[in-house]
Chain A
Amino acid sequence: MNDLRFAFRQLSRNPGFTVVAVIMLALGIGANTAIFTVVEAVLLKPLPYHEPDRIMVVWADNPTYNLGIHELPPSQLDMMDWRQRSQSFEQVAGITASLTDLSRDGGLTRIGAVSVTANFFPTLGVLPARGRGFTAEEEQPGKDKVVVISDALWKREFGGDPNFVGSSIILNNESRVVVGIMPPGFDFPRSAEMPPPYGLPAQSDLWMPVAGDAKFWQDDVNRQFIVLGRLKTGTSVASAQAELDAMARQATLDRPATHAGWSTHLRPLAMQVAGATRPVLLVLWGAVAFVLLIACVNVASLLLCRAVARRKEIAIRAAIGAGRARVIRQLLTESLVLSLVGGAFGLLLGVFGLKVLLALSPPGLPRLHEAALDGPVLLFSMGATLVTGIVLGLLPALHASKVDLTEALNSAGRGLTEGGRWRSHGALVIGQVAVAFALLVGATLVIRSFGRIVALDPGFAKSGVSSFELTFRGERYRKGDSRIAFFQNVHDRLAALPGVVGVAAVSHLPLGGRENVGYFVIDGMAAPRQGQEPLAQCRVVTEGYFPTMGVGLVRGRDFADTDATGKLLVTIVSETLAREFFPTGDAIGQRIRLKDSGANEWCTIVGIVRDVRATALEMKPMPGLYFPHSQLPNYWDEMTVIVRSATLGRTAGFENTLRRELKAIDPAVPTANFRTMEGLVSNAVARPRFGSVLLGLFAATALVLTLVGVYGVVAYAVSRRIRELGIRLVLGARRGELLRMVLMQGMGPVFVGLGFGLAIALGLGRFLASLLFEIKASDPTTLLCAAVGLAVAAALACWLPARRASRVDPMVALRGE
């Protein structure tokens, strides 16, 4: 108790020291609290499903395609095979995107919807709060006109009507009975939690059963289902994986046409959901731990200075009989009090920091809505605070308790200068410079990666293009001619709007979140081995798509109105396709067709266009095939209309203008997803932006704290060495020489720290790998710039006290102590 009172007295006697220390600790603990809150919500908290550890996502992969994605959907037959024969799973369920429009009050509203197998809810272990889930029967065509809706949709669209279960709603022009309403918060799956190109909604509000006949469930070519499996109790991931491996091997033998080269891999759902956010958060977590470490080092350094200054006091305490343990306890009490005060402010800062973090976070960062300052977060902060306090106190305490009594009490009287007690301070500076350097390198790498992604030429116009989706449904647009006429109409009306310079439509908008990939065959080329048929991203586009979207024509010609039904079938290929498959000759004039569906008649290549990075900006472009809508009007029911205008996309009323025009053409065609390319590009870089902004922020904090630390140590050293400096002046040292001396001594540990920092940066580089884009963790320019930058900044921090050192009055040497 005495220790505590003394500790408070000590802290209040040095308000400057206390305030500085508390600010630094609060910064460190606050940043840690904020990040940990997010880490906990996204990575640590179990998913809100029944025994979520047992839920797996089952992916297929075929490395021969080099798609940049290793999470490809299995076929329906695979899914059925696992369901029937696998011993590892209790349930195997499938999910596929489903563009759905709800008719209400004469209008159409796009709803985030998915089609699922009937056992979807049992697989997750979440049952509707009202009503029921699906029955196996409802997987049969004709019996599938049922739907389960989310709590949010129920409240938003139907006023939370307590008797709503059993009502019918009109979806895609069909009536369906609402059989269940999910509990609040259930919105699985969300697009941000799954690989990009599968067209899932941002969050799901509506679930419909997949209905298919026997043939549908035996389809082994199309791959469209995201497959979830619930492991049987007691089955390990490894043994389930082993079983799937065996089945995949068997499939390559039994069904080589569709399975040669394909493998299967399990991913725990929790990992899947955290996805690409996981490495970002882990790196950020590491970064804030570094910041706290540096803050601790600063405070420890301050405490150490005080311990040195208090050597006499401590020596006297020891001389009157205080044991070593007592002295350590006293100093530990002081540092703990300090860290607790810092921790309290840190927690406040953390609450604020979390708000900032949530504001900065990329759209769809999984589970962020679950982030809150709850028990585990408080525990974490408390833990961080206590560890901080103990670490802080220990160093000075050990240092002080080792004080050589006779020396401490005698040497001052002897006219010897101080000094020679800077080893601990030097070590602290080395440590903090090393950590700050590693952080600086990491941040610079991530920021440069971000810069590279932003500066990438995606092959299409990043701005000036607005888009919206529309869907053809029902009898009216069954015939291709009606669709062609519809688009002609859309083109004419929208192109007439003032400011619009181009109008076109495409089946799969780049960065739009959906891709359509198909096998293709080249006329006259030797048939490829099974499982190695080439794949291309396939798009159907209307005339004028390429100039409107800003996709450059490299060779040949664009589609023209002469490319009509009944005429020569034509196609345009991407540069990558032309390069890879026609390396020697000219692609133009060659014939190509899709293997299975759509354009499965020979099409003649008439042009080559620039590659587009359509799935994600960082992903290498894959071969691309374009078909004219005028020849394949029925290939795809959902089309995206793009409108090019330098300025209109940014004006608020433009969306309404487009809606109005479309309504005038045909109010029964549902439109949805009004988006600009700017917005899509911005979303596409949101995650790296989040990472670089935060990492940059933390690195800057670390840098400032480190400079404060270097400054503090050197300034303190100078203040303790005034007399020595005076003597040196008396002996004929020039002021410049003193300046240089102090600078060199201050910079010594900085340089050593840079050396260690380099080792840390290189050692930790692999953790950054997944955040980096076209830059290596060992990038020499980055390392050099960070080192020079840090050294120059540290030199400035040393220079201020060094200048003071050089201005010492030599008279101090003449005066007694």
Chain B
Amino acid sequence: MSTAPQSPLIHLEGIKKVFLTDEVETHALSGIHLDIAQGEYVSIAGPSGCGKSTLLAILGLLDSPSDGTYVLNGQQVAQLDHSQRARIRNREIGFIFQSFNLIGDLTVFENVELPLTYRGLNAAERKLRATEALEKVGMSHRMRHYPSQLSGGQQQRVAVARALGGQPSILLADEPTGNLDSKNGDAVMDLLRRLHREGATICMVTHDTRFAKHADRQIHLFDGRVVEESAGEPAGVR
């Protein structure tokens, strides 16, 4: 709708990532150019080992690129130090993993609350936001449960709530349905779609073409390069 040439939420330019192990250089990413706009839903696909997770890690500031420029929300973030990256990660990024990655010792509520704790919010604020996020994913009735008492699909919904709680600029998801059966997978995907409709920016790695089509834009990686970009099916038409 907006026609103004808005600067993108994420701007990657010439991103390279080289891993050095035992004198062997692995070029995981070899010059990625990518813009992701506010409110966009991008899916990334490609064969195993092509660099999807590496790209996601760089987007999520878990790792820094060997070379290239990364501008997030107008800020250069490629070469920040650990604690600055932790702060931006905490505020701007929501992560959803293939293997849920809930902390077994903490209740559902505490898991969702955790990133808010790291942000230094007070208890009341944390409670408000965590409850809200759990309501969004339909898990507020299991707040006091421990993750081990939930099904896989439920655990992943809690993980989504945890990613949402901090109201991040972008949700990064690495094969969020990989460990789920198709029914639970569908439910999680429906959830992401709904969040996208409500305005969330999402960048998701998936092998499943069905789900890739949910996205506004599909990116194909091969050997560390973007080889193809295509529009998704107009499911989310405006």
* Interfacial residues, chain A to chain B (CB-CB below 8 A): 407, 411, 414-420, 723-724, 727-737, 810-811, 813-817
Stretch at the interface among B29-37, B97-105, B188-196: B97-105
Contacts of B62 in A (CB 8 A): 729-730, 810-811, 813-814
Contacts of A418 in B (CB 8 A): 104
Contacts of B97 in A (CB 8 A): 415, 813-814
Contacts of A731 in B (CB 8 A): 89-90, 95, 114-115, 118, 162
Contacts of B166 in A (CB 8 A): 732
Q: Are B114 and A728 in contact (CB under 8 A)?
A: yes
CB distance from B134 to the nearest CB of A (A): 16
CA distance A737 to B87 in the complex (A): 12
Over the window 25-49 of chain B, the binary record of Cβ atoms lying under 8 Å from chain A Cβ atoms (1 yes, 0 no) is 0000000000000000000000000
Stretch at the interface among B1-9, B52-60, B72-80, B218-226: B52-60
B132 touches A (CB below 8 Å)? no
CA distance A418 to B95 in the complex (A): 20
Q: Which 9 residue pairs of A and B lie closest in terms of their CB atoms, listed nearest first?
A: A732-B90, A415-B99, A416-B104, A731-B115, A415-B100, A732-B118, A419-B105, A810-B62, A420-B105
CA distance A506 to B87 in the complex (A): 84
Known A-B contacts A414-B155, A735-B82; the reply to A419 vs B115 at CB < 8 A is no
Q: Are B82 and A417 in contact (CB under 8 A)?
A: no
CA distance A723 to B87 in the complex (A): 20
Contacts of A728 in B (CB 8 A): 103, 114, 118
CA distance A349 to B65 in the complex (A): 57
B184 touches A (CB below 8 Å)? no
CB distance from B44 to the nearest CB of A (A): 14
Which residue from B63, B147, B148, B162 sits with its C-beta under 8 Å from A407? B148
Q: Are A732 and B86 in contact (CB under 8 A)?
A: yes
Nearest B residue to A807 via CB reads B82
Which residue from A734, A813, A815 sits with its C-beta under 8 Å from B118? A734
Over the window 145-162 of chain B, the binary record of Cβ atoms lying under 8 Å from chain A Cβ atoms (1 yes, 0 no) is 001100010010000001
Known A-B contacts A732-B91, A732-B119; the reply to A416 vs B162 at CB < 8 A is no
Q: Are B99 and A816 in contact (CB under 8 A)?
A: yes
Contacts of A727 in B (CB 8 A): 101, 103
Known A-B contacts A411-B148, A420-B104, A814-B57; the reply to A735 vs B83 at CB < 8 A is yes
Contacts of B216 in A (CB 8 A): none
Contacts of A735 in B (CB 8 A): 82-83, 86
CA distance A418 to B106 in the complex (A): 11
Contacts of B98 in A (CB 8 A): 415, 816
Known A-B contacts A414-B155, A419-B105; the reply to A811 vs B57 at CB < 8 A is yes
Of listed A414, A723, A727, A730, residue having the most chain B CB within 10 A? A730
CB distance from A214 to the nearest CB of B (A): 90
Of listed B63, B118, B155, B166, residue having the most chain A CB within 10 A? B118
A-B contact pairs, 23 of them (CB 8 A): A414-B148, A415-B100, A415-B101, A415-B102, A416-B104, A416-B147, A416-B148, A417-B102, A417-B103, A419-B103, A420-B104, A723-B101, A728-B114, A728-B118, A730-B62, A731-B114, A731-B115, A732-B89, A733-B86, A735-B82, A735-B83, A737-B118, A811-B63
CA distance A811 to B105 in the complex (A): 21
CA distance A414 to B82 in the complex (A): 29
Q: Are A734 and B82 in contact (CB under 8 A)?
A: yes
CA distance A407 to B82 in the complex (A): 36
Nearest A residue to B104 via CB reads A416
Nearest A residue to B84 via CB reads A734
Q: Are A415 and B179 in contact (CB under 8 A)?
A: yes
Contacts of A734 in B (CB 8 A): 82-83, 86-87, 118
CA distance A736 to B90 in the complex (A): 15
Contacts of A729 in B (CB 8 A): 62, 86
CA distance A736 to B103 in the complex (A): 19
CA distance A810 to B63 in the complex (A): 8
Nearest B residue to A413 via CB reads B179
Q: Are B174 and A814 in contact (CB under 8 A)?
A: yes
CA distance A787 to B98 in the complex (A): 47
CA distance A817 to B57 in the complex (A): 17
CA distance A472 to B50 in the complex (A): 108
CB distance from A734 to the nearest CB of B (A): 5
Nearest A residue to B60 via CB reads A730
Q: Are A730 and B95 in contact (CB under 8 A)?
A: yes
CA distance A729 to B83 in the complex (A): 10
Contacts of A813 in B (CB 8 A): 62, 95, 97, 101
CA distance A815 to B53 in the complex (A): 9
CA distance A388 to B114 in the complex (A): 43
CA distance A420 to B90 in the complex (A): 25
CA distance A575 to B208 in the complex (A): 101
Contacts of A724 in B (CB 8 A): 103-105
Contacts of B162 in A (CB 8 A): 731
CB distance from A690 to the nearest CB of B (A): 50
Other 11 A-B pairs with CB < 8 A, given A416-B104, A737-B118, A816-B98: A414-B99, A415-B102, A415-B179, A417-B105, A419-B104, A728-B103, A730-B95, A731-B162, A732-B118, A734-B86, A814-B53
Contacts of B119 in A (CB 8 A): 732
Contacts of A415 in B (CB 8 A): 97-102, 155, 179
Of listed B57, B86, B97, residue having the most chain A CB within 10 A? B86
Contacts of A416 in B (CB 8 A): 100, 102-104, 147-148, 155
CA distance A735 to B90 in the complex (A): 13
Q: Are B89 and A730 in contact (CB under 8 A)?
A: yes
CA distance A815 to B97 in the complex (A): 9
CB distance from A419 to the nearest CB of B (A): 5
Contacts of B152 in A (CB 8 A): 414
CB distance from B156 to the nearest CB of A (A): 9
Of listed A407, A414, A810, A814, residue having the most chain B CB within 10 A? A814
CA distance A409 to B182 in the complex (A): 23
CA distance A199 to B19 in the complex (A): 84
CB distance from A721 to the nearest CB of B (A): 9
Contacts of B179 in A (CB 8 A): 415
CB distance from A453 to the nearest CB of B (A): 53
Contacts of B102 in A (CB 8 A): 415-417
CA distance A428 to B152 in the complex (A): 35
